[in-house]
Each structure stands twice: as C-alpha cells, then as structure tokens.
Structure 1
Amino acid sequence: MGMVFADPDMLDRLAKSLDSKADAVPQLMRRATTLGVSCEVSGLTAIGSWLRDTARDLRRRAAILRTPSESPFDSLSAFGLPTALAKLSGAGKKLDTALQKVLAQHEHDTPKRRAQAVKDYFATLSPQQQAALAAADPRAIGNLDGVPVEVRFAANRISIQREFNEESSFLKGLAPNDPAYKRTKDRVDALRSFLDPRIKSFVDPKTNRVTQAEVPRQFLVFDAHFGSTADSKASPFPDGRVAEVVGDLERSKNVAFRVPGITNRLDNFNGFSNGGYELAQGDKEIEQPDTAVVSWLGYDTPEIGDSVDPAKAVVGGNALSSFEQGISVNLEPGAIKSIFAHSYGTLVTSKALQSGLTDAANVTFMGSPGLGPNIHSVADFHLPGTKFYAMRAPEDPVSYTQGLGDDPADFKDITRLGTGGSTGHSQYYNQNTESLANMQRLLFGDTKQLTFTHTTLDEEMTGAAEIRELVAFLHERVPADVVSRMGGDLDPIVQNYLNGRCGLTDIIRPLNSVLNKHNMLDKVKPEALVGEIKDLAGDLAYKQAFKAAKAHGAPDVTAEAAGVTAKLAAKPLLDLTTFPVLKVLEFDRLQNNARQLFGDLAVGGKDIFRSASEMATGVEKDGGKILGDSLDLGSDLLHGSGTAFSNLGDTLIHPSHGLGNVTDTVKSLDDSRASTVEKGKSILGSLNDAKDTVLDKGGDMMSSGLDTGKKSLSKGKDLLDSAANFAF
C-alpha cells in the first residue's frame, strides 16, 4: 500500500461524519421518549458529547497538519534527541568550529575516510552536544556523511520546517493563474507532507501482533536550493535534492539504494519515494525489521530535452559514489547493499560503478536507456564480487531505444528477472508485480525464489525491434554532441507544452525551427528517412501477418507466405501515403538550405567588409603618422642644412668666427642625425604597423572569404540536392 500519511482532508471528512451522528442524537432521544424507552438509551447523550469532542479534536489535528509549525527543539525531540543544551544561545558555535577543523584536515581524503573522521568526532560528543550542533547549523549537519543518522534526520526536519515557512509565504503572494502557482503549491504540499507523520505497520515484539503507529519521516539528505530550475516559468525554485530512509539504517543487515531517472524533483518526490515504502514491505505489508531502503534523489535529474545528454549522469554518478561510500561508515559492518536503478538512473549508477562505488552486492537495472558507450557487458565493470540483474517490462519504450548505450537486458552475462504484471516504463514498483517481488527477494536475500525471463523484443511488443532499428539509424547520422545541443534547445518548447502554456499545434513551428537550426534534414535526408520508415513498416507488416496466421493455427510455411504477401501489399500503400510527407519535408529542407545559404553569404560579406574597413582605417592612421613623421624629419634636415650653410658663409666673411661656427655646425648636424634616427624609427614602426594591419585584416578577409566559400559550397550542394529531390 506504500506510504500512508495522516491526511487533513480525511480527518475533516471524518469530523463532519461524527458531527452528523452527534446531530442525530437529540432526535433519537425525542423518539425514545415518545416510545417510552428513554431509560434504555440514556447513554446516547454521553455518546453525542464524545462525538462532538472527537470531531473538534480531529479538526484541530487537521489544522496542525495543514500548517505545521514546529520549533527546532520539537524536531530534535521527534528523534529522541535532548534539547537542553541546544536551547542555550551559541551552544553549537564552539562545537561547529571544531567540526570545521576536522573537515579541513580531511578535505582531500576519500569520501569514506572523511565520513569516518566525522563519525569519530561525533563519537566524542554527548547527545546534548550533537543536538546542539544540529540546531546550530541544520543544513550542513543534515547533509554531512558520518553524522549519526538520527542527528541528520532531526537536522533535516528543522531545515524542512524553515523551507516550508518561506515557500508558504511565497505561495500566498501568487495568484492562482500565475504560471508558477501550481508547481509552487505542489512543492509546498510536498514539504508539508515531509513534516506529517506516516503510518508504519510492524510486528510488536511484545504481543507478536501486527501494529500500526504514527512515526516521523526520516530524511537523510535535504537541500531545497540544490540543482537547476527545471522550468523557471513554472517554478522559481531549484529542483532540490532529497533522500529518505525507511527502516533502521544503522542496524539493518539489508540496505537498498534506489536511484531515479528524469523529471524527479522535490515537488514530486513522494511519487518516487513511494516505491521505497513498497520495496521495504514483506508479507501483509509489514516493514521488514532488518531492512532499510534509501530513496536517493541526490543529483540534478534531467528534464525531457536534456535526457539525451549524459553530462548529468557523470556528475550524478560521482555524487552517488561519494554518498554510498560516505554513508557506509554508519552501516552495520556486514550489511548487504543492493542498488535498484531506473531509467536514466541506470546510467547514473553505471557512472558511479566506474568511479569508486565497488562494494554493492547486487545491482539491478530497470527500463534502461543504456549504460554508456563503453559498457557492453557486465564484465566491462570489472566488479567480480557484484551480481548484476536487469529488468525490461513489455512495452517499455525507453529500453527499446538504447538512446544512451546498449540495453543491459540484452547482455549475455547478466541475469534477467521477470516483470510479470508490469508493463510500460513506470510500473516496476507496482504492487502484485513480479518486478517488485523479485526486487524484494533480492533485498531480503531470498534469491532461490527469483523468477526469470528471456523474452525477445518482438515477443514483448510488436514494433519494438523496429523502434530500436530506427533509433540506431538516426544515431548513425546525427553526432552525439548535436543531439545534446538540440535536446537543450527543445527542452523549453517541451516545458511550455507540459506545463500548459501552449497547445500541441503551438509547438510545431518552434520544433521545426530547432530541427532546421541543427540541419536535421541534411543530416537525415528525407528520402533516406522515409525509405527507412517504409522498410521498417514493411517488416512490421510481415511480422503482424505472420503472428496472426500462427494464432489461427497455420503452419510456419503458410504463416511465412502470409507475412511476405502482407509486406508486398504494404509497399504500394506506403509509397502512396509517404509521398506527400516526403515532398513536404523536401520543401522544408529546400527553404531552410536557401535561407542558410543567403544567410552565410550575408554574414560572410559583413565579416569581409568589416575587416576591409578596419584595414583601411588602420592603414590610413599609420599612413598619416608616416606622413607627419616624414614632414617633421624634412623640416629638421632643412633647418640643419641651412644652419650649416649659414655658418660656412659667415666663416668665409668673418674668419674670426670660424671656431664658434664649426661648433655650432657640428651641433646642428648632430641634431639632424638624432632627428633622422628618431623619426626614421617612427616611420619604420608605422610601416610595420601598416604591414601588420594589411596582413592581419587581409588574412581575416581571406579567412572569411574561404569560410564563406566553404559554407556556401556545402550549403549550395545541399540546396541543389534538396531542389532536385523536391522536383523529381
């Protein structure tokens, strides 16, 4: 049944029902008096009072649940931590300073060694001191590996309450028609539910009977301001990171780590965490006493558009590896660890297994889009001590695509588990399915009861093999980096549609614009694409006819003949139906190529003109400087020559002036020589500058011209090709 929380709406409905019963008591008393049996029902008055009192108490509880207001000390008490020291001002500051020294000393250690150092430090503290630290800096303590888990639970509960208060205030300022209202409300509701108690079913060791009790939820990680914002128009808040624990983590012998896929965030975390509650339950929906399940949303999950990009999986894998190594110091030494990864989370787990996470006993991949380009078998992980399992439910399109690598369900050295009762991509944790039962058997150590399957793509879904072939066809023609960039461009369009800001018809033009931007119709030419689709459709027609014939008891020869006939009959029909589509795609390609060709020419022309203008400006500036320096030099030389001739004439006329005139002439000649050297250097420098400008800008002009020519030739070829394909 998953997790059950105290529902304020349910409490209100129950209170209303009790009030209606209480309202009926006076009427029943009057009726009893009329019948003369009032003595026999005298207790109804007390029952009516009890009903009204209970209804008031239920409404009080519902109000508390709707707007939880818990002090930090209440959060500490919820997990059995003392509060006396924490209530003293500044009590945790000195302790925090000492903790920071420990962290600084082990800054470059492995995650496990750093966590062990933190654990050792907390072991020196009393429960009072540990509680004081949690209250002093709940965000840091709640997310610090090595801290006792009960202390982390309490610290994160404090952070959740504070975040709930802030975001509730923000929500009150939003109008219901604000684009951010719905997701913000979902987020506030999720935060509220984190603070609500849940109902736990367990066997009371004293009475040996199944008992239910309200218990606080246990959050091992909580950071509401982590990660990117999936859609800033739908929510101003980052996606956040959260990890919830079901069970006694520090004392369990079986520990599971669950890793989610795309579009998981704080506001929809309960949908993911619910699978953890399902997984932890055994018979009669009782949580197993020796089992703990960690639902870990500790990385920034992709949205729809960037789900084709492995970048977040690399970061997420490092985070998962670090988290698992860090939390291992708090586990029982002999605890058996199992990882259950779903969808994009399988790629995250694959990266973690390659970056330090090496001690998992079992790893199960579900609905995987692939484990990366370098993983083609279990052996590629080089983890002989780990047992690997895979699940692929019928009609799970994510596994069929192999968009991020080989599907582990097809690995020859992996154990493929049965998924009976589960179909599609999101039912692996559903109750009464073999997929959930097999995960529980792995977690509880009951491996002898595991069930297996070896179904093929065609057995799972007609057309599954064709989906895989079509995706492979596209992957061969579109480079991975183009796919990633295109996914990033597509995501805002998809978000607009998913969040109701536009209809399906409104996104056709933007989608087409993104496809044209990345030249998809040149990379995957319409004729080749339509041809591939026709071939795959023909194969599909063959399989469907063969399958139908066999279902009616036909022998293989007859069924094969029926399949061939269907394929041949489908060809002319496919030619007819795909021809208009082909021409529309070719025309779109023709238009886009024409726009890009003239756009490239315009951009190239602008670049060439700009470089030419800059060259002319530079040469003009340097030429002016050369002219000025030349005029100055000529003036200095004329002045020096005139002085020399004047002194020579004066000496001839007045011999007695000879010595002075010689001295004056020598000085004038020295000045002329110095001016010649100075101005000459300046002129040579200006000439070099002019030469560099011509070479530099001329080179830019040549580069722009060559680049424009290259693009124009390439795009011109595409243009001619698209024009020919459109015309014929």
Structure 2
Amino acid sequence: MRRFKRTLGAVAIVGTVVGGTAGWVSGNGQRAVTGGPVGVAAWRDAGLPDPERMTAARTAAFFASLSPARQRQLAAAHPAVVGNLDGAPLPLRYEANARAAGPRYAGQQVLAYDPRGRGQVAVVRGDLGTARHVAVVVPGSDIDAGNVRPLTDMADALHRATGGGTAVIAWAGYTTPVGVGLDAASGDLAEAGAERLTRLVDGLDAVGAADPAVFCHSYGSVVCGLAAPELKAKDLVVLGSPGMRADNVAALRTSARVWAAKDPSDWIDKVPNVRFAGLGHGEDPTSPAFGARRVPAEDAHGHNGYFTAGTRSLRTFAAIAQGDLR
C-alpha cells in the first residue's frame, strides 16, 4: 500500500508539471551552465592559475600576492574571468564586471556576470565589504540575466527593511527552470546551482565578508537544500518552497538555523510533497514534522508576495538577516 501511494504521488507530480495546474505551467528543458568562466582558456594560456582547480581561499591568496597595479591589469585583460572568481577582491570584481556586463548594469555593483545560455548575474545592494550582516537571495524559475527584476525587487525590499545596514546579494547565479515543468520537478538544475551557491559563499568567507543569511524562493529552496551541508550560512530561509530534498532539518546536515514561510494563498501548497523516480522535492519545510522555525506569512499574497512592504514575512526576514531573532 505504501509503495502504491508513492506511485500515485509520482503520477500526481507528472500530471501537475506537464498539464499545468494551480499556477504550474509546462517549461522547456534547460541545460545547466557549468565549468570555468568565459575566457578561461586565454587566462590559462597566459600562465595564470586554473580557476577550476583553485578553491576560493586559494584564489584570495593568489590575488593577495599581486600588487594593486597587477590586479588591475588582470581585470582589464581578462574581465570575464576576474569578475567571476569567487575569492577575488570585491572592488576588482565590480571593476571587471563593469567591462564584461556592459551598459545594461551601469552604475550597479555586479559581483558576477556570465553571458552563456540565458545569462547569469549577481548584483549587490549595500557595502558587502564592510557590512556587519549579509544576505543572499536565491530565486526560483524564470530568473536570468535578461529577467532579473523580480529578484532585484526582493533584494531591494530586504535591503530597505534592514535600514540599509545589511548588504544583500541578488544571486541569479545558476540556470533556473523555465516555467515550472519537468525541470522544476527534478533536482538536476538544483544540483549544479548548489555547487555554484556554495562557491559564492566560500568566496564571501575568503574575502572576510560576514556569513550570510540565505533566502531561498521556490525552486531556489531546492538549490539551498542540496547546498546546505557545505554552505557557510548562519541562516537558511525558504519561502514558497516545493521541498528541499530532505525529510527534515536534521537531514540537511547544516549548522545554520532553518526557517520556512508559506502563505495560505500560495499555489505551491497544492504541489504534492513527495519524491519518487527523481521527481518531486519531498517534505513541506513548513510542516511541523520538518522541524524548521516558522516565519509568519499570513498577510503575504501569492507565490511572489513574501517581500511585499509591510508584511510580517518581510519584517521577520529583516530581523533574521540582522541577527535580531534568537
């Protein structure tokens, strides 16, 4: 009987993601962008250390061994590499990405930019180098370099809610699903995203930034769940989550505090919380059995309303980011 119920759950997932229901629509298959940054071959040919063989800490040590003039030379000659090296000095990455990203992000602090595929980007609100508190916002489906506004709106709202005292990274640094189809029901894109998210946070640690609170929306919570054992985060906050590919908080194997929010009108509540044959993401993180700390979200609206000004969810997010909740 138990196996039969799991099979029915898998059928429900497939029917949901293919047929479209409760806000889900079918999406086309995506291929994750992996490997070294654009221009890495020319970087290697110049006799520079292979970015794919260096940890973020080793990257930081490499740049620390260079004079400021040499650092700037490398940023000018290899902007697409330097701008994406987690562990490189933050001002140098901003400088490099100002060249690599072009006028579209003029005047913004661009921490990473990769034009491959649909494009990936990470932008920073606040002073990441000096802020006592740091937050990272990880998005779900449909976010990329060409459609980053919903993500930056979340980051801006959180930055304002903290009074500007928390530096916030809007991280569109992985290949997200398009729509909510079979890609969103599987963990393939999340696995690639988890590796990139872990390296991002390792890079923050390598340059002396504060351990972040990581806010994971929708499919982004699958990324965060897979990254959790290696992620140097002080808090993991999931909102509108389909599951984290873990049965409970203990299974995440993280020292971070784990929080979860879901408002009553969010269509994600109608998605089956099962895993079978590679589909589905498991237990609802807001369920008592999962064991996460609950974030009040009754006055949020819909799947994308958690960062709306004036909501209890946003006020709680700001308190978490600032370390005000124990």
Give TM class, smaller chain: 0.7 to 0.9
Whether contact under 8 Å (1:347, 1:370) holds in the other structure is yes
Alpha-carbon shift at residue 360 of structure 1 (Å):
1.3
Quote the residue 1:323 is aligned against: 200
Unaligned runs of 5+ in 1: 1-95, 165-190, 196-215, 226-237, 449-728
- Match of 2:191, as an amino acid? V
Alpha-carbon shift at residue 243 of structure 1 (Å):
0.5
Q: Percent identity?
A: 31
CA distance in 2, matches of 1:158, 1:411: 48
Q: Deviations over 1:492-534 (max 9, x none)?
A: xxxxxxxxxxxxxxxxxxxxxxxxxxxxxxxxxxxxxxxxxxx
Q: Could you say which structure has the higher strand fraction?
A: 2
> How many residues of Structure 1 are paired with residues of Structure 2 in the alignment?
275
Q: Deviations over 1:379-401 (max 9, x none)?
A: 11222x32111001111111331
CA distance in 2, matches of 1:409, 1:150: 39
Q: Choose the corresponding residue for 2:233, options 338, 360, 368.
A: 360
Q: Choose the corresponding residue for 1:294, options 163, 169, 185.
A: 169
Q: Choose the corresponding residue for 1:380, options 251, 254, 259.
A: 251
Q: Is the partner of 2:140 in helix, strand or coil?
A: coil
Alpha-carbon shift at residue 137 of structure 1 (Å):
0.9
Quote the residue 1:346 is aligned against: 221
CA distance in 2, matches of 1:381, 1:140: 32
Distance 1:98 1:150, change over 3 A: farther
Alpha-carbon shift at residue 98 of structure 1 (Å):
10
Aligned-residue CA RMSD (Å): 2.1
- Match of 2:283, as an amino acid? D
Whether contact under 8 Å (1:142, 1:220) holds in the other structure is yes
Distance 1:320 1:415, change over 3 A: same
CA distance in 2, matches of 1:264, 1:419: 23
CA distance in 1, matches of 2:308, 2:302: 12
Quote the residue 1:536 is aligned against: none
Q: Which has the larger radius of gyration?
A: 1
Alpha-carbon shift at residue 99 of structure 1 (Å):
7.9
Alpha-carbon shift at residue 247 of structure 1 (Å):
1.4
Quote the residue 2:243 is aligned against: 370
Q: Is the partner of 2:247 in helix, strand or coil?
A: coil
- The structure whose RCO (Cα within 8 Å, separation 6+) is larger is 2
Q: TM-score under structure 2 normalisation?
A: 0.79
Q: Is the partner of 1:145 in helix, strand or coil?
A: coil
Q: Is the partner of 1:447 in helix, strand or coil?
A: coil
Alpha-carbon shift at residue 266 of structure 1 (Å):
1.4
User: Do structure 1's residue 433 and structure 2's residue 318 form an aligned pair?
Assistant: no
Residue correspondence of structure 1 range 435-450 to structure 2 within 5 A: 435-447=313-325
- Match of 2:253, as an amino acid? H
Q: Could you say which structure has the higher helix fraction?
A: 1
Whether contact under 8 Å (1:346, 1:370) holds in the other structure is yes
Alpha-carbon shift at residue 100 of structure 1 (Å):
4.5
Whether contact under 8 Å (1:376, 1:411) holds in the other structure is no
Quote the residue 1:147 is aligned against: 88
CA distance in 2, matches of 1:100, 1:446: 47
Q: Is the partner of 2:49 in helix, strand or coil?
A: helix
Whether contact under 8 Å (1:99, 1:121) holds in the other structure is no
- Match of 2:50, as an amino acid? L
Q: Deviations over 1:654-681 (max 9, x none)?
A: xxxxxxxxxxxxxxxxxxxxxxxxxxxx
Whether contact under 8 Å (1:102, 1:117) holds in the other structure is no
User: Do structure 1's residue 115 and structure 2's residue 53 form an aligned pair?
Assistant: no
Quote the residue 2:17 is aligned against: none
Quote the residue 1:596 is aligned against: none
- Match of 1:382, as an amino acid? R
Q: Choose the corresponding residue for 1:337, options 188, 191, 212.
A: 212
Q: TM-score under structure 1 normalisation?
A: 0.36
Residue correspondence of structure 1 range 137-536 to structure 2 within 5 A: 137-161=78-102, 191=104, 194-195=105-106, 216-225=107-116, 238-282=117-161, 286-288=163-165, 291-304=166-179, 305=181, 306-332=183-209, 335-354=210-229, 356-357=230-231, 359-372=232-245, 375-383=246-254, 385-401=255-271, 402=273, 403-412=280-289, 413-447=291-325
Unaligned runs of 5+ in 2: 1-42, 274-279
Q: Deviations over 1:633-664 (max 9, x none)?
A: xxxxxxxxxxxxxxxxxxxxxxxxxxxxxxxx
Q: Is the partner of 2:214 in helix, strand or coil?
A: strand
Distance 1:315 1:99, change over 3 A: same
Q: Is the partner of 1:370 in helix, strand or coil?
A: coil
Distance 1:411 1:122, change over 3 A: same
Whether contact under 8 Å (2:204, 2:211) holds in the other structure is no
Alpha-carbon shift at residue 121 of structure 1 (Å):
2.2
Whether contact under 8 Å (1:300, 1:312) holds in the other structure is yes
Q: Deviations over 1:396-445 (max 9, x none)?
A: 11133134211100043211111142121000111111111100000112
CA distance in 1, matches of 2:288, 2:129: 35
Q: Choose the corresponding residue for 1:103, options 39, 50, 73.
A: 50
CA distance in 2, matches of 1:419, 1:243: 27
